[in-house]
């Protein structure tokens, strides 16, 4: 039997579960750090993925609850692109990935885990990040905990304000 030690999971298992859409964030930014929200704009925000594919996995989502790219206003589309670009720069400057996958899954068949609220993924990648654990054990290794990654990225995002 294989065992994977992940003590951080216990707080999730025993803790309160969010009701409703996880991308419909509270208007009050008071708990942003605890929620791993890195930046808020007028129409969109940047949040760390609590269950990342790789270290530094970020998501950009509109504040408004919309499911499809065609439902975004022109202003929301522009601001989403601003935050994607800003997030990419922050990832490159802090985690120094060799590449970054940026994507959007529309609908369950396309792999959207939360299909009701549009969100873009930024997944940093490093040469060699698919090790024997991924190939043989089908297990990803995340080498740094979320609060530590948040502390690296937050200062880089704090100074950015989207264009009006």
Active site residues per annotation:
119
DSSP 113: S
Residue 60: CB partners within 8 Å, gap ≥ 6?
44, 45, 46, 80, 83, 84, 87, 119, 120, 122
Three-state SS across 21-79? CCCCCCCCHHHCCCCCEEEECCCEEEEECCCCCCCCCEEEEECCCCCCHHHCCHHHHHH
């Amino acid at each position: 039997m294989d065992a994977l030690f992940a003590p951080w999971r216990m707080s999730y298992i025993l803790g309160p579960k969010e009701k409703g859409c996880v991308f419909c964030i509270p208007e009050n930014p008071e708990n942003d750090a605890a929620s791993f929200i890195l930046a808020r704009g007028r129409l969109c925000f940047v949040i760390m993925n609590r269950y990342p594919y790789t270290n530094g996995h970020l998501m950009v989502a509109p504040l408004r609850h919309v499911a499809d790219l065609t439902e975004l206003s022109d202003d929301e589309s522009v601001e989403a692109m601003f935050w994607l670009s800003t997030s990419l720069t922050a990832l490159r400057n802090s985690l120094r990935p060799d590449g970054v996958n940026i994507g959007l899954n529309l609908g369950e068949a396309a792999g959207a885990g939360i299909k009701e609220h549009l969100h873009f993924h930024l997944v940093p990648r490093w040469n060699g990040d698919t090790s024997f654990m991924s190939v043989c054990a089908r297990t990803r290794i995340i080498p740094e905990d979320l609060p530590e990654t948040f502390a690296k990225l937050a200062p880089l995002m704090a100074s950015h304000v989207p264009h009006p």
